């Protein structure tokens, strides 16, 4: 038998015994016919192979799930849960809840295998005394968990809601994820800004993180630290606190970023005799009250302040200056107060208070070689940048202070009854302070571009350029002030002229994360209960019992 090929058919068969007998067929058909039995066997083997592969994949999948559960269960041995519905390791009843929270934190402090106290939500934990946190401890919570000051709290000055366990100092503390309600309106017998009911306070501590918090309606500061180092304050929302949102005194190595702050009584971010500081990607505004958005303060010669950066922030409708910088008091060397860098910030309608002489974009005195560059000032009140002394208390010692202002866009400055006629640059301290002005772009400043200052390189925008300057966002890469046009937080943001958003909408990703986190916590509690069934703890009768309020 012989196979040959024709164009009309794939193959034909010629019988050698009967050459005249020719059969035309398709090879695929022939294969199935001629090797039918063998092919059927192969199909059976193929199907069985598929089943083996499927079985193998199922085993791998089950092993993977078991591994994930095992891995997730390991951290559960480090977390203590506080709740109000009986499901926690410690349980509160909505009154004097600091008792159970402090027991949980003490348990973590006394047992090194534990690291975290988690506050379950949605719950409100009402406290009548301070909460104390120790070394290497995380105090976290669901976004719906709220620590709230009791009504009519009769607390003395400087008594905080959350503070350190050891009065000599603690280290490596992380506070994150929940809400703190200062309960301002139900404690209205106290004055704001005097030190009552600070939300969080640390003294002589190291490596502190406060992040992903919502803090609001207090009489005092949000986070106040004194003589501390390694402070990180980020991803927080703060609304109408009673003093500064972050207040740092005699400290070093400070960072604050990605915070959304609405001021009420004083500043958003403030440092006092503090060095090695970075403030960036923050959005700070006011609701007709408060002071400066950012405040930099030095007094006397005891502390050097020569490493401070402020960049990529949005200062928006602050009551007084967007940034206030002041050095004052006893004589100090200029080397101890110099080289502040302010760049890529956006100042929008800052200085709204009609009675504040220190309204404006940036108001400063008492610092040498401050560099202000690549910022955008739009619609500031009084003056965009000014050398001023707020009052006699804030008088800078000596003279010869210089501020460098270059490559900024300064437009639409408005007049202010107390702060100035609407100048781009205003030097009210011409006998002791001077400006070096380089390549700034100026337009629409109602009081004029300069008061007791001058420049040979600044550019006054014509109508075409002015129209470009009044747009938002970047222009052509060759545009001379493109960096200034891109100033502001390096994240998405929106300026709302009428409403300050204080709540976050929950999108799909957030909702999924919340549900998944709840699932993980359930697993953690399950494995935690297994791990402590036979564990004996010296300072408790049983290992991690459920403790209810009295």
In a domain? residue 194: no
In a domain? residue 258: no
Among 72, 106, 124, identify where a domain stops. 72
For residue 321, which of 468, 227, 254, 419 has the smallest C-alpha distance?
A: 419
Q: Which range of residues forms the domain containing residue 353?
A: 303-504
pLDDT band, residue 33 (cuts 50/70/90): very low
Give the mean model confidence (pLDDT) for residues 81-100. Answer: 95
Give the mean model confidence (pLDDT) for residues 412-436. Answer: 98
Among 72, 87, 114, identify where a domain stops. 72
In a domain? residue 204: no
For the cut 70, the answer to whether the pLDDT of residue 493 exceeds it is no
In a domain? residue 267: no
Per the CB < 8 A criterion, the answer to whether 271 and 277 are in contact is yes
The one-character DSSP state at 432 is T
For the cut 50, the answer to whether the pLDDT of residue 3 exceeds it is no
- Of all residues in the chain, the percent with pLDDT exceeding 90 is 67
Alpha helices in 77-167 (DSSP H): 98-110
Of 67-71, 81-85, 127-131, 296-300, the poorest mean pLDDT is in: 67-71
Per the CB < 8 A criterion, the answer to whether 292 and 318 are in contact is yes
pLDDT score of 527: 54
Mean of pLDDT over the chain:
85
Among 72, 94, 127, identify where a domain stops. 72
pLDDT score of 77: 73
What is the tally of structural domains in the chain? Answer: 2
Is the whole-model pTM more than 0.85? no
Of 215-229, 333-347, 400-414, 471-485, the poorest mean pLDDT is in: 471-485
pLDDT score of 516: 59
In a domain? residue 311: yes
- 3-state SS, residue 263: strand
In a domain? residue 433: yes
| Rounded Cα gap, residues 503 and 66, in angstroms | 38
In a domain? residue 339: yes
In a domain? residue 238: no
| Rounded Cα gap, residues 419 and 354, in angstroms | 8
For residue 244, which of 229, 235, 252, 256 has the smallest C-alpha distance?
A: 256
**46-76: per-residue pLDDT in tens?**
555 677 677 777 788 787 776 666 555 444 5
């Amino acid at each position: 038998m012989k196979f040959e090929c024709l164009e009309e058919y794939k193959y034909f068969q010629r019988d050698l015994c009967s050459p005249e007998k020719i059969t035309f067929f398709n090879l695929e058909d022939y294969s199935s016919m001629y090797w039918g039995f063998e092919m059927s066997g192969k199909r059976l083997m193929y199907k069985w192979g598929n089943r083996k592969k499927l079985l193998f994949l199922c085993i791998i999948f089950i092993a993977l799930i078991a591994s994930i559960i095992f891995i997730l269960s390991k951290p559960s041995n480090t977390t203590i849960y506080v709740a109000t519905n009986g499901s926690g390791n410690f349980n509160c009843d909505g009154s004097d809840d600091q008792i159970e929270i402090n027991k949980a934190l003490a348990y973590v402090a006394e047992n090194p295998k534990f690291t975290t106290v988690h506050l379950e939500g949605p719950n409100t934990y009402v406290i009548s005394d301070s909460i104390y946190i120790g070394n290497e401890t995380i105090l976290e919570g669901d976004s719906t968990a709220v620590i709230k000051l009791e009504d009519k709290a009769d607390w003395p000055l400087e008594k905080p809601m959350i503070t350190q366990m050891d009065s000599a100092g603690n280290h490596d503390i992380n506070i994150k994820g929940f809400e703190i309600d200062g309960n301002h309106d139900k404690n209205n017998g106290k004055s704001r800004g005097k030190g009552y009911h600070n939300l969080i306070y640390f003294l002589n501590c190291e490596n502190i993180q406060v992040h992903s918090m919502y803090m609001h309606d207090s009489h005092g500061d949000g986070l106040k630290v004194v003589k501390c180092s390694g402070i990180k304050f980020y991803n927080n929302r703060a609304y109408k606190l009673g003093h500064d949102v972050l207040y740092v005194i005699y400290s070093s190595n400070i960072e604050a970023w990605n915070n959304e702050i609405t001021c009420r009584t004083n500043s958003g971010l403030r440092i006092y005799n503090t060095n090695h500081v970075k403030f960036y990607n923050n959005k700070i505004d006011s609701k007709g009250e408060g002071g400066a958005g950012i405040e930099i303060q030095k007094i006397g010669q005891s502390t050097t302040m020569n490493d401070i950066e402020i960049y990529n922030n949005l200062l928006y409708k602050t009551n007084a200056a967007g940034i206030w910088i002041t050095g004052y008091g006893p004589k100090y060397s200029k080397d101890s107060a110099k080289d502040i860098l302010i760049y890529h910030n956006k100042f929008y309608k800052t200085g709204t208070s009609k009675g504040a002489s220190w309204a404006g974009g940036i108001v400063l005195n008492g610092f040498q070689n401050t560099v202000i560059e690549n910022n955008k000032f739009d619609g500031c009140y009084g003056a965009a940048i000014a050398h001023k002394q707020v009052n006699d208390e804030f008088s800078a010692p000596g003279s010869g202070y210089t501020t460098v202002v270059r490559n900024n866009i300064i437009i639409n400055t408005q007049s202010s009854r107390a702060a100035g006629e609407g100048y781009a640059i205003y030097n009210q301290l011409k006998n002791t302070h001077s400006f070096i002005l380089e390549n700034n772009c100026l337009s629409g400043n109602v009081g004029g571009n300069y008061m007791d200052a001058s420049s040979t390189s600044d550019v006054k925008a014509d109508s075409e350029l002015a129209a470009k300057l009044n747009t938002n966002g970047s222009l052509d890469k060759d545009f001379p002030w493109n960096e200034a046009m891109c100033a502001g937080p390096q994240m998405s943001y929106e300026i709302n002229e009428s409403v300050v958003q204080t709540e976050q909408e929950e999108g799909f990703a957030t909702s999924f994360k919340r549900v998944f986190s709840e699932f993980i916590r359930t697993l953690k509690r399950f494995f935690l209960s297994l791990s402590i069934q036979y564990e004996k703890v010296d300072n408790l009768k049983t290992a991690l019992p459920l403790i209810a309020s009295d």
